[in-house]
A and B are shown apart, each in its own frame.
Chain A
Amino acid sequence: MTRCIRQTAALCALLLVALLVNAARVQLWEAGSYSANAANRRAALARYAQPRGPVLVAGRPVTGSRDSGGRLRYERTYTDGPLYAPVTGYASQLYGTSLLERAEDGILAGTDDRLATFPWWDRIIRGHRPPGSVATSIDPALQRAAFGALGRRKGAVVALEPRSGRILALASTPSYDPTALSGNGTSVAADWRRLTGAAHRPMLDRAVERAYPPGSVFKVVTAVAALESRTVTDIDAPTDTPDPYTLPGTATRLGNSVPGCRNASLRDAFRLSCNTVFARLGARIGLHTMAQVAERFGFNDRRLRIPFPVAASTFGTTMDASQVAQSAIGQFDTTATPLQMAMVASAVANGGILTPPYLVDAVTNARGTTLDTGPQRPARQVMSPAVAGQLQELMVDAVAHGSGRQAALDGATVGGKTGTAQHGVRNEGVPYAWFVSWARAEDSAEPSVAVAVVVEDASADRSDISGGSVAAPVARAVMAAALRRDGHTVPPSQ
């Protein structure tokens, strides 16, 4: 019997070994895949167990947290929801995150390894990391000016600091209050359906998530290509352009909405926004150089992060000559986000140097130690300083004597370009009004701000809408706010 008892005991020992090996399998080998399973709610529970870190604008939080007392406990609140929604995005228990809330989620939710002093020790003791904060480069005065100037119209504004690439304003209207999407309640789902189903698409961040046909504001890029490729060497020399101009290889005759474009010089063509001159220039410069210059500005770049991804602006790379001509005046397949056009204006204002735009100044941990400052990505020379100088001249002329008159500011040098982009089947949609500009205080060598404005359908009357009358005043308000921010005196808007 003794032998049998021993064998039974050994059998029990075997069962114990089986249990331990299986425990190790579940808890060590399979642990990763089980924890990553989408149906495992632990990650979500841990994520909402502590208040989310704040997003700062000018050093003050624009986000908060509300203790719901539920399972997914802390809900995000926004102090100025609609004003900063195009920057922060939403952080919702039900629908995840977007924009900055998504891009900086690790810091805000406390999961980023940079928040731990000793990440490996942290993992062992499973200490929870207090979330950090994200300081944005947004300037509240510019942001408010942009929203105020857009008003009830549908559109977007981007303002950049040309030297640093810091994004000072990122506005998109109509906006929404992301607080409505925080939490688990039934009202959240209802609001989500309402916001995502609305015809005017309030959750679309028009400043970065939508690429519009740029129309005439793209002529800035075409002008740069013309000067860089030395297709035009003297901006005051006649360009030998007929009016109307027949697109190469087609019978399509392109006209102008203004007189005075026949044989106009680059300066006049820019000021008057002559389609004929720029279309012909595009065709002469050729596809290769046009695409190359556009891509230097950031067109066709799908990797731009500010830190959230930006919709790609496009310039066609396989086109015939007539299509290149149309693309050169911002039609055909050419599209640009407002951010992209602000980058173009910024490079011109900054002597040809394009500093990649960015929205985050600094990321700090809960104790206030800076973990990371804005991106250290190198600025790049996208045009020679001489060409930048010529472009500045063209843009200043366009504001002083051309279609951008309503953007002029006393006491500051303002350069700009209007655009009215037609779109839709046979161009019957309400056109988009564009304005890109930059401003430099007269007593300063450094530009204060570069701005891009798009207004989708300011008016149903097609003749009334234009970059000059609708978009330029918006840019003016934002530029005025930027100049005041830099300590310059600017008279109140007219």
Chain B
Amino acid sequence: MTATASAAPARPADTPPPLPLPPKRRGVELGLLVGAVLISICGYLTVGAATGHALPAGAVTYGAGLAALALLAHLAVRLRAPYADPLLLPIAVLLNGLGLVLIFRLDLETPGDRAAPAQLVWSTVGVGLFTAVVVLLRDHRTLQRFAYPCAALALLLMVAPILFPAVNGAKIWIRVAGFSFQPGEFAKVLITVFFAAYLAANREVLADIGHAGWSGRLPPGRVLGPVVAIWLVSVGVLVLERDLGTSLLFFGIFVVLLYVATGRVGWLAVGLLLAAGGATAVATLEPHVHGRVTDWLHPFAGIAAGRGPGQLAQSLFAFAAGGLLGTGLGQGDSQLIGFAMKSDFVLATVGEELGLAGLTALFVLYALLVGCGFRAALGIREPFGGLLAVGLAALPAVQVFVIAGGVMGLIPLTGMAMPFLAQGGSSVVTNWIIVALLARISDRARAPEGAGERRDETAHHPVPEHSPPPEPRSAPESRP
């Protein structure tokens, strides 16, 4: 999944004026979209055939709906981001389509509690927002000006659930009028925007700290303040909301971006030490998190104690039942996991019914998505865009690792949504926004200098003062 295979964007300075435009590859995207929609419909039909021995009633609606959404998003990209990475949208559509298939399949086990219709609505909202972002946000650098409002809004969203009652041990939900939101999901994007803007502005100062080592010369509070604040917020979220996953995610993204911005391994080491210290302290002190760690170390302890298999044990059983090729969609027994089988544990259904082969394919899809983000980051020629792309690519990467590793016993389980796959409106919508932003940045990265009207517009958005001018790529000879 390394992004090194990316086609190097044209270097306009070296190119003579009669510029052969780089391929936009919108046709490729359309072809891949058709494939993604067809695969999803096939999955839907397979579930119907395997469980009811008949075509599911809503197959036509579902297929047409998904195709219409894909077409809408494709048109938005074609018109407004013609140079966007052609892999992004098809992967998102395929993942979302597969997610709908999985939730539809799991709904069959819980006839009284259908989640697929709501998920379809949320997916529509997500694609709508994707379209809106692609159409309305002409240049991602506009976001740089809203760095601090973004941070404020993110903090507000993260603190809000503390006022609401805990659900299943974690205070991450807001319930209003029958709808529930996970504001932390939206906060992820906002905070990533803030990180990117803040680090793009202060990377020299922070890099100097790294240079100076720890000689006692403290950087100005304006620079160091946000770093401390982020660490405090991470710990605060962890302790007050008992949400280890989100806390780890924020912290991880911040450390990664800090490293990318400054190039100082010292920051990485400090970040890892702080994270390890915090996690160890919380794992020992906080009973909820401590229980998760115990479960991870002894997933079958419940069976030996006569309490029956716990959720993690059931999840492992599901993966084991899948074996190499899986039982086939609709023919597994992942409903045995019970609670959260459509959200946190949705991957277990993939593992059981599609097997190691299907699971690998799914991981590769995520890897491609993340790879697209890194490719955009490498292609863009200014630090904010690069950092934003890295952050937005790292979000799903860390998320997939934390939840997939959690449900498969690789790391302690923390509640987190599998991007696009898991039930949960906030998550789906957020992921569509992430993909939209990546599409925007990749369009910017791949577009030839001066192509289209966007060049003119960017001229009206001067970069904020403390951000350095777009640097020339420091080592063009190092590019493949």
Which residues in A have some Cβ–Cβ distance to B below 8 Å?
Answer: 1-6, 8-13, 15-16, 18-20, 22-24, 26-28, 30-32, 34-35, 37-42, 45, 124, 126
Q: How far is the CB of A122 from chain B (nearest CB, A)?
A: 12
Contacts of B300 in A (CB 8 A): 37, 39
Contacting residue for B1 out of A13, A26, A34, A40, CB 8 A: A13
Contact A35-B370, Cβ < 8 Å, known A16-B1, A22-B405: no
CA distance A35 to B325 in the complex (A): 15
Which one of A4, A35, A38 contacts B321 once the chains associate, using CB atoms below 8 Å?
Answer: A35
Most buried by B among A4, A32, A35: A4
Closest residue of B by beta carbon distance from A127: B328
CB pair B4–A6 under 8 Å, yes or no, is yes
A5 B319 Cβ-Cβ under 8 A: no
Contact with A along B304-348 (1 / 0, CB 8 A): 000011000100110111111101100101001000000000000
CB pair A28–B356 under 8 Å, yes or no, is yes
Q: Are A31 and B405 in contact (CB under 8 A)?
A: no
- The reply on B61 being an interface residue by CB < 8 A is no
B residues near A3, Cβ cutoff 8 Å: 263, 475, 478
A290 to chain B, nearest CB (A): 51
Contact present for A40 and B317 (CB under 8 Å): yes
B260: A residues at CB distance < 8 A:
1, 4-5, 8
B390 near A35 with CB under 8 A, answer: no
Q: Is B126 an interface residue (CB 8 A)?
A: no
B3 touches A5 (CB 8 A): yes
Are B410 and A22 touching (Cβ within 8 A)? Answer: yes
* B360 beta carbon closer than 8 Å to chain A: yes
Contacts of B308 in A (CB 8 A): 39
Chain B: residues with Cβ within 8 Å of the partner, total of 60
A4-B260, A34-B319 are known; give 19 further A-B pairs, CB within 8 A.
A1-B260, A1-B263, A2-B479, A4-B259, A5-B374, A5-B386, A5-B390, A6-B2, A8-B259, A9-B1, A12-B393, A16-B1, A19-B408, A22-B405, A23-B319, A26-B408, A30-B316, A32-B320, A41-B333
Report whether B317 and A34 are in contact in the complex, using a CB–CB cutoff of 8 Å: yes
Partner of A1, one of B3, B303, B351, B474: B474
Q: Which residues of A contact B196 (CB under 8 A)?
A: none
Is B43 an interface position by the 8 A CB rule? no
Residue of A nearest to B328 (CB): A126
Please list 29 pairs of residues, one from A and one from B, whose beta carbons are closer than 8 Å in the complex, sorted by A's number: A1-B383, A1-B386, A5-B260, A8-B394, A9-B1, A10-B2, A12-B370, A12-B394, A15-B397, A15-B398, A15-B401, A16-B366, A16-B367, A19-B404, A23-B319, A23-B359, A23-B408, A26-B316, A26-B320, A26-B351, A28-B356, A34-B316, A34-B321, A35-B317, A35-B320, A37-B300, A39-B309, A40-B309, A42-B317
**Contact assessment for A26 and B319 in the assembled complex, using a CB-CB cutoff below 8 Å:** yes
**B47 contacts across to A, CB distance below 8 A:** none
CB distance from B344 to the nearest CB of A (A): 16
**Chain B window 87-112, contacts with chain A (Cβ cutoff 8 Å), 1 for yes, 0 for no:** 00000000000000000000000000
Question: B377 an interface residue at 8 Å Cβ cutoff?
Answer: yes
Among the listed A19, A28, A35, which residue makes an inter-chain contact with B324, where contact means beta carbons less than 8 Å apart?
A: A28
How close is B241's CB to chain A, nearest CB, in angstroms? 25
A12 to B3, CA, bound (A): 11
Which of B327, B333, B363 is A16 in contact with, Cβ under 8 Å? B363
6 interchain residue pairs of minimum CB distance: A34-B320, A31-B320, A9-B374, A22-B410, A4-B260, A39-B309
Tell me which residues across on chain B come within 8 A of A40, comparing CB atoms: 309, 317, 320-321
> What's the nearest-Cβ distance from chain B to residue A366, in Å?
18
CB neighbours (8 Å) of B256 from chain A are 8, 11
Q: Are B374 and A8 in contact (CB under 8 A)?
A: yes
B63 at the interface (CB under 8 A from A): no
Contact of A27 with B320 in the complex, beta carbons under 8 Å = yes
- Chain B residues within an 8 Å CB radius of A124: 325
- CB contact between B360 and one of A23, A37, A42, A45 (< 8 Å): that residue: A23
Task: Kindly list chain B residues whose C-beta atoms are within 8 Å of the C-beta of A38.
Answer: 303
Give the shortest distance, in Å, between B119 (CB) and chain A (any CB). 24
Residues of chain A lying within 8 A (CB to CB) of residue B355: 27
Q: Are B325 and A8 in contact (CB under 8 A)?
A: no
Contact A23 B321, CB 8 Å, known A5-B386, A18-B410, A37-B300: no
How far does the alpha carbon of A38 sit from the alpha carbon of B306 in the complex, in Å? 12
Q: How far is the CB of A74 from chain B (nearest CB, A)?
A: 16
Contacts of A45 in B (CB 8 A): 333
The complex places the Cα of A37 from the Cα of B319 at a distance, in Å, of: 13
Known interface pairs A5-B3, A6-B4, A34-B317; A27-B323 also in contact (CB < 8 Å):
yes
B87 to chain A, nearest CB (A): 15
B126-170 interface (Cβ within 8 A of A):
none
- The docked-state distance in angstroms from the alpha carbon of A5 to that of B313 is 37
Interface residue? B371 (CB, 8 A): yes
Smallest CB gap from B351: residue in A: A27
Q: CB-CB < 8 A to B2: which residues of A?
A: 6, 9-10, 13
Closest Cβ–Cβ distance, residue A47 to chain B (whole Å): 12
Residues of B contacting A126 with CB < 8 Å?
A: 325, 327-328, 331
B191 within 8 A of A: no
- How far in angstroms is the closest Cβ of chain A from B155? 26
Contact A18 B405 (CB under 8 A): yes
CA distance A22 to B259 in the complex (A): 28
Contact across chains for B320 and A30 when beta carbons are under 8 A apart = yes
B56 within 8 A of A: no
Q: Distance in Å from the Cβ of B326 to the closest Cβ of chain A?
A: 8
Check B303 against A39 for contact (C-beta < 8 Å): yes
CB of A111 to closest CB in B, whole Å: 15
A34 CB contacts on chain B under 8 angstroms: 316-317, 319-321
Please tell me if the beta carbons of A12 and B405 are within 8 angstroms of each other in the complex: no
B325 touches A20 (CB 8 A): no
Residue B36 at the A interface, CB < 8 A?
no
Over the window 370-407 of chain B, the binary record of Cβ atoms lying under 8 Å from chain A Cβ atoms (1 yes, 0 no) is: 11001001100001001000100110011011001100
In the bound assembly, the distance between CA atoms of A6 and B356 in angstroms comes to 28
B356 x A27 contact (CB < 8 A)? yes
Cβ of B327: which chain A residues have Cβ within 8 Å of it?
126
A41–B43 CA distance with the chains assembled, in angstroms: 26
- Give bound CA distance, A252 to B424, whole Å: 88
B438 within 8 A of A: no
CA distance A216 to B463 in the complex (A): 111
List the A residue with the shortest CB-CB distance to B319: A26
- Any A CB within 8 A of the CB of B41: no
Residues of A within 8 A of B408 (CB): 19, 22-23, 26
Q: Given A16-B363, A18-B410, A19-B405, is A37 in contact with B303 using a C-beta cutoff of 8 Å?
A: yes
